[in-house]
Amino acid sequence: DRNHFYRDTWAEINLDKISSNIKSFKKHLPDQKIMAVVKANGYGHGAYQTAVEALESGAELLAVAMLDEALALRKQGISAPILVMNRIRPEYVSLAAENEISITIFQKDWLIEASKFLKETDKVLNIHLKLDTGMGRVGITEEEELHDVSLLIQNSSACEIEGVFTHFATADEWESELFETQRKRFINQLDLLKKWGITPKYVHSANSAAALRKFEGPFNLVRLGISMYGLSPSSEMKEKLPFTLEEAFSLHSQLIHVKKLMPGDTVSYGATYRAKEEEWIGTLPIGYADGWQRRLSPGADVLIRGERAPIIGRICMDQCMVKLPYKMDVGEKATLIGKQNDETIEMDEIASLAKTINYEIPCLISSRVPRVFV
């Protein structure tokens, strides 16, 4: 709530919208379990709160990128299964096992090294095998290595294969040959595992984009990131979504200063903005150190009283300026992302102005901006 901070800029996270997005996916894919991806502080939305909301709304598992993120959730009292999707250091396997955190493996050498450290605990380590079917990032590609790794795990009482997964590179493109190639490669690898007697509890490949498009295969879990927060994985997909996604994140500030410019007066570093006539200018206490990137001006607007006001001049570290339609009072609310009356600034609008994808925007809104959960 707003009492826990003292500044006039904040992000609002509407947890009901996250709940509604999870429920829509559940309806869309009734046979799949949902793993809520809450890495990077829940894509900037708050890992703990979004995890709790997702779990209450039908998600059964969580995923993060790093062991630190999983341990933080455990410390906050989350008991649901958590998968760490990136490599952890071999020496930390017992720490993962002790905390019932499932980990991802994709290297035989790693497994040999890690088995030394597994002796430190009696707890069984749950492993998800990561297969690279075309993403070219991490994952086992060779049949021989897959075989060796599988055998090593099967013959160990200290660890167990809980899952097997892959990740798509182009699921957010409707017509993608690579997507189909990856899907087929994964199914072939699953057949091999089956031949060697391995049928993991969880078989997963879909990110949000793949989960939205639906596809055939022996999969029973989807890893939902971006769309659980209400954002479309790509502009291409946005036009053909099977259901409405509801954006959970909005960003707000307040005018902390209002002044009148005379013709010829300039605004901010470099004096790049020059008033042509008498104008009213407002100052907002948000800048690039908050993740409101310098390149957003000129270009981005904010909403004040339901109307668009452009950001003018260079965005500073802690502040930026907007051109007001008329004189306003200090304290007037400004919405940088989100809705006021009938006007909306979507995350995608800001992403496009910043020449990036929507994923990056809330991730980059820094920890200096308090998150308010509504």
Decide: 347 and 365 in contact? Cβ < 8 Å: no
Q: Which of 17, 128, 223, 252 binds ligand PLP (CB under 6 A)?
A: 223
Binding status of residue 213 toward ligand PLP by CB under 6 A: no
Question: Please, what is the minimum distance in Å from the beta carbon of residue 17 to ligand PLP?
Answer: 16
Mark residues 11-40: x for contact with ligand PLP by CB under 6 A, - for none: --------------------------x---
CB of 140 to ligand PLP, least distance (A): 14
Does the annotation mark 43 as catalytic?
Answer: no
173: left (phi over 0), alpha (psi -120 to 50) or beta: beta
- Strands 301-304 and 61-64, by their bridges, are unpaired
3-state secondary structure of 64: strand
Binding segment for ligand PLP (CB under 6 A), chosen from 145-153, 195-203, 205-213, 262-270, is 205-213
- Residues in contact with ligand PLP, shown as a per-residue x/- string from 78 to 117 under the rule CB under 6 A: -------x--------------------------------
- Confirm or reject binding of residue 224 to ligand PLP (CB under 6 A): yes
d(CA 220, CA 222): 7
**Which one, 163 or 225, has the nearer CB to ligand PLP?**
225
Is 230 a binder of ligand PLP (CB under 6 A)?
no
* Contacts for 127 with CB less than 8 Å, ≥ 6 apart: 102, 103, 104, 105, 153, 159, 160, 161, 162, 163
Give 30's DSSP letter.
T
353 binds ligand PLP (CB under 6 A): no
Binding segment (CB under 6 A) for ligand PLP, from list 45-53, 220-228, 273-281, 312-320: 220-228
Which is the catalytic residue, given 39, 130, 202, 288? Answer: 39
> C-beta of 351: minimal distance to ligand PLP in Å?
14
**Alpha carbons 70 and 102: distance in angstroms, whole number:** 9
- Residue 353, CA distances (Å) to 229, 270, 281 in order: 20, 21, 22
Binding ligand PLP (rule: CB under 6 A), the pick from 90, 225, 230, 291 is 225
Q: Has 201 been annotated as catalytic?
A: no
Tokens of 184: 């087929």
Closer residue to ligand PLP in complex, CB, 249/273? 249
Active-site hit among 194, 214, 240, 269: 269
Could you tell me which stretch among 115-123, 206-214, 329-337, 338-346 binds ligand PLP (CB under 6 A)?
206-214
Count CB-CB contacts under 10 A for residue 294: 14
Within a 10 A sphere around the Cβ of 6, how many other Cβ atoms?
7
Residues 159-188 that bind ligand PLP (CB under 6 A): 167
Q: Which residues of 34-60 are buried (b: 16+ CB within 10 A; e: fewer)?
A: bbbbbbbbbbbbbbbbbbbbbbebbbe
Short-list 285, 280, 288, 289, CA closest to 310: 280
What is the binding site for ligand PLP (CB under 6 A)? 37, 85, 167, 207-209, 223-227, 233
Q: Which residues are catalytic?
A: 39, 269
